[in-house]
């Protein structure tokens, strides 16, 4: 019976991640985890590394949040464009201005969690640029397409996003994952209103779609590693170069995360007036380090298929509201299955 449940999760997971979910959940969390390891800022009143370590529930939620509204399973894909905008520098810029305007230091706990969540988003932004080859040449998926898929980026994209998670769950230790997330939903609504100049998304959409991400992550924990032979056969390049490829490998993306952490902490402390902030977050520079970089912006979901699902309506939800945010926790049966899968 237990084997049947696991294979059912496998079937659902494959359907989600190769057809309707962007995935990359485990990979993004691991990149941010590595990026934080050697992060330290040299000035300012706030120890940002200590802050992030103290609020891992918000930080880990932030590392995957930008993809929350892409899939059709999330509110029928109505807020797809919100996800796209959340990936780029103007959103980071707006968020920093919002925090500096509304929450002067020293910060209370809810603001610290918002800041940790924003650092997670920043990691996601720069990781996606080199993974998806957005405005650069020779990113990971482009190279993977050339070597394993006869130049087909769409095939490499669908295989690589979820295949990276399969590889991560097969080879890495994710004991540091939090069983619950914190999402600063009230602040996000205000940031989006500042960004667009009007209300564009609902509180319910943010809560529901981030909760689906949390469930999807634990589905990966339960079952993704069992798919390793399939994805290893699909792409030997993915297996060989996933961690150390020079532009979009996990270690390179962790380095980019460390760099954007330095910049984000500087901007939170001193503002953005001394910074060059193009659309592409990989090319942000502060303290007069302005350079000539391409102003190229490309959607990362151009090859995504549109397939709806009613799963969201049938999932038991464990959600607790606070004044400015929500805590999301996976159902108990998910925790039991993830523990059993690790100790098989």
pLDDT of residue 17: 52
Q: Where are the alpha helices (DSSP H) in the chain?
A: 2-15, 25-37, 48-54, 56-64, 80-86, 89-102, 109-131, 140-148, 153-171, 185-196, 203-223, 228-234, 236-241, 250-270, 311-314, 332-342
Q: How far is CA 73 from CA 6, 33, 311, 343, in A?
A: 22, 28, 7, 31
Other CB atoms within a 10 A radius of the CB of residue 276 amount to 17
DSSP bridge partners of 328: 181, 319
Q: Are 38 and 259 spatial neighbours (Cβ–Cβ below 8 Å)?
A: no
pLDDT of residue 136: 87
Higher pLDDT, 26 or 9: 26
Mean pLDDT within 276-304: 67
Query: Is the per-residue pLDDT at 161 higher than 60?
Result: yes
DSSP bridge partners of 180: 329
Place of tokens 């996990």: 250
pLDDT of residue 334: 61
Candidate from 148-157, 234-243, 271-280, 327-336 with smallest mean pLDDT: 327-336
Query: Is the per-residue pLDDT at 6 higher than 80?
Result: no
pLDDT digit string, tens, across residues 191-209:
999 999 999 999 999 999 9
Q: Output the CA angle 43-48-50, nearest 5 degrees.
A: 120
pLDDT digit string, tens, across residues 213-224:
999 999 999 989
User: What band does 135 get if pLDDT is binned at 50, 70 and 90?
Assistant: confident
Q: Which two tokens stand for residue 248?
A: 């979009």
pLDDT of residue 44: 81
Spatial distance between the Cα atoms of 321 and 205, rounded to a whole number of angstroms: 14
| Residue 93 CB burial class (10 angstroms; 0-12, 13-18, ≥19) | middle
Query: Is the per-residue pLDDT at 74 higher than 50?
Result: yes
pLDDT digit string, tens, across residues 94-126:
999 999 999 999 999 999 999 999 999 999 999
Q: What is the pTM of this model?
A: 0.88
Query: Is the per-residue pLDDT at 289 higher than 60?
Result: no
pLDDT of residue 290: 44
Q: What is the mean pLDDT of the chain?
A: 87
Three-class secondary structure of residue 66 per DSSP: helix
Mean pLDDT within 293-321: 52
Q: How far is CA 338 from CA 1, 13, 29, 321, in A?
A: 16, 14, 17, 26
Mean pLDDT within 296-301: 50
pLDDT of residue 303: 38
pLDDT of residue 33: 98
């Amino acid at each position: 019976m237990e084997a049947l449940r696991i294979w059912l999760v496998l079937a659902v997971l494959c359907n989600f991640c190769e057809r309707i979910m962007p995935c990359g959940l485990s990979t993004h969390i691991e990149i941010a985890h590595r990026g934080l390891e050697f992060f330290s800022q040299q000035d300012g009143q706030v120890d940002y590394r200590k802050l992030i370590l103290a609020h891992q529930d918000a930080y880990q939620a932030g590392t995957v949040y930008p993809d929350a509204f892409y899939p059709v399973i999330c509110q029928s894909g109505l807020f797809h464009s919100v996800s796209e905008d959340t990936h780029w520098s103007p959103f980071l810029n707006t968020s920093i201005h919002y925090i500096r305007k509304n929450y002067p230091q020293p910060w209370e706990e809810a603001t610290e969690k918002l800041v940790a969540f924003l650092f997670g988003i920043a990691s996601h932004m720069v990781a996606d640029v080199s993974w998806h080859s957005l405005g650069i040449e020779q990113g990971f998926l482009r190279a993977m397409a050339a070597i394993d898929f006869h130049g087909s980026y769409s095939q490499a994209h669908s295989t690589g996003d979820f295949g990276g998670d399969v590889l991560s769950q097969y080879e890495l230790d994710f004991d540091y994952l939090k069983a619950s997330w914190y999402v600063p939903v009230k602040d996000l609504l205000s940031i989006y209103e500042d960004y667009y100049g009007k209300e564009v998304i609902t509180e319910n959409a943010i809560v529901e779609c981030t909760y689906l991400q949390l469930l999807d992550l634990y589905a990966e924990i339960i079952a993704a590693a069992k798919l390793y032979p399939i994805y290893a056969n699909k792409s030997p390049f993915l297996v060989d170069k996933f961690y150390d490829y020079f532009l979009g490998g996990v270690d390179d993306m962790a380095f980019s995360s460390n760099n954007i952490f330095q910049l984000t902490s500087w901007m939170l402390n001193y503002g953005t007036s001394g910074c060059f902030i193009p659309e592409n977050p990989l090319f942000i520079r502060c303290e007069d380090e302005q350079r000539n970089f391409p102003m190229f912006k490309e959607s990362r979901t151009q090859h995504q298929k549109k397939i709806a699902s009613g799963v969201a309506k049938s999932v038991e939800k464990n959600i607790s509201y606070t004044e400015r945010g929500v805590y999301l926790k996976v159902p108990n049966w998910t925790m039991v299955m993830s523990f059993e899968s690790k100790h098989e």
